[in-house]
């Protein structure tokens, strides 16, 4: 199982943090951790710096790439996310299955005779867009292929995103902005268009010309909810947290000046 990045998601309400299992498993750590926290934190920071009114509202961020998830954020805090205990849950991804009825796993064990290791290999490495298309987990290849199975894989990807978007908007009690980030979200006008098509009831109105250019705001001037394309930078968030940690350590030691780093004097 991939390691979670849960810090950003620790504001989750309990109802989005738990599964309907006996409470003892929650106490043992079987709960919804959420992933892509660094990406969501970076996007939230950018919104707070450049669009403070939007940042204070109800925002859904769609991190769409080889790994894909969505997060509902209110006033800069995570309220609900599509990923849970592992990086398998929620949206279909390049090679990961996304949402799956647990009984499917029981079926694979009881009727296909698969071991837990074989099932893990199937769900993590041979499912998602790759499994659905039988061609590739790379959205660029699927968009270029034009085959029926490639289009079906794209259809399912878009369908699940739209379904989760509605659920997250409900969790937020409305929607003020939708943000696309990640490799697919940032670089595929077609996927953005497919997701936002006919979502006027959510207040989303995509400007096709702006969408094709991939400018930061791709919604129309009359759109009730704004649509953004923000290039995420998880490495920048790691650097910020590292610098903050180093400054705190120096402050604890009573050192006032920031350290100077070089090849002979690395930060760690």
30, 38, 254, 260, 261 from 268: Cα distances, Å: 33, 21, 18, 12, 10
Stretch 207-231: mean pLDDT, rounded?
97
User: Which residues, at least 6 apart from 140, have a Cβ–Cβ distance to it below 8 Å?
Assistant: 188
Q: What are phi and psi of 88, to 5 degrees?
A: -90, -25
- pLDDT at residue 212, rounded to an integer: 97
What domains sit in the chain, N to C, each tagged with a CATH number? 7-89+142-232 (3.30.420.40)
- Amino acid 201: pLDDT: 96
- Is pTM beyond 0.75 here? yes
- Separation of alpha carbons 151 and 138, rounded Å: 13
Report pLDDT digits (tens) over 23-32.
999 999 999 8
Question: Could you tell me the pLDDT band of residue 89, with boundaries at 50, 70 and 90?
Answer: very high
C-alpha distances (whole Å) from 110 to each of 51, 100, 102, 220 are 53, 17, 13, 52
Q: What is the pLDDT of residue 4?
A: 45
pLDDT number for residue 257: 53
Dist. CA 248–CA 120, nearest whole Å: 40
Q: What is the pLDDT of residues 137-187, one digit of tens each?
A: 999 999 999 999 999 999 999 999 999 999 999 999 999 999 999 999 999
pLDDT-derived band at 90, boundaries 50, 70, 90 = very high
For the cut 90, the answer to whether the pLDDT of residue 233 exceeds it is no
Are 9 and 78 a contacting pair, CB within 8 Å? Answer: yes
Residue 20, number of CB atoms within 10 A of its CB:
4
């Amino acid at each position: 199982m991939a390691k979670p990045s849960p810090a950003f998601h620790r504001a989750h309400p309990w109802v989005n943090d738990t599964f309907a299992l006996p409470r003892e498993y929650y106490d043992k750590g079987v709960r919804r951790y959420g992933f892509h926290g660094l990406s969501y934190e970076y996007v939230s920071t950018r919104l707070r710096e450049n669009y403070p009114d939007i940042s204070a509202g109800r925002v859904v961020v769609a991190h769409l790439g080889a790994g894909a998830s969505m997060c509902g954020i209110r006033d800069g805090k995570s309220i609900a996310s599509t990923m849970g205990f592992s990086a398998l849950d929620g949206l279909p991804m390049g090679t990961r299955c996304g949402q799956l009825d647990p009984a499917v796993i029981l079926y694979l064990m009881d009727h296909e005779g698969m071991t837990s290791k074989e099932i893990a290999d199937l769900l993590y490495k041979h499912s998602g867009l790759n499994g659905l298309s039988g061609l590739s987990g790379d959205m660029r290849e699927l968009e270029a292929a034009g085959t029926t199975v490639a289009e079906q894989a794209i259809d399912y990807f878009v369908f699940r995103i739209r379904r989760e978007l509605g659920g997250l908007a409900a969790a937020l009690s409305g929607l003020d902005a939708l943000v696309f980030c990640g490799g697919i979200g940032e670089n595929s006008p077609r996927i953005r268009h497919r997701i936002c098509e006919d979502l006027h009831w959510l207040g989303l109105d995509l400007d096709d010309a702006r969408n094709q250019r991939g400018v930061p705001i791709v919604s129309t001037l009359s759109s009730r909810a704004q649509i953004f394309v923000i290039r995420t930078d998880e490495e920048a968030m790691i650097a910020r947290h590292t610098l903050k940690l180093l400054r705190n350590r120096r402050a604890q030691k009573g050192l006032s000046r920031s350290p100077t780093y070089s090849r002979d004097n690395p930060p760690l």
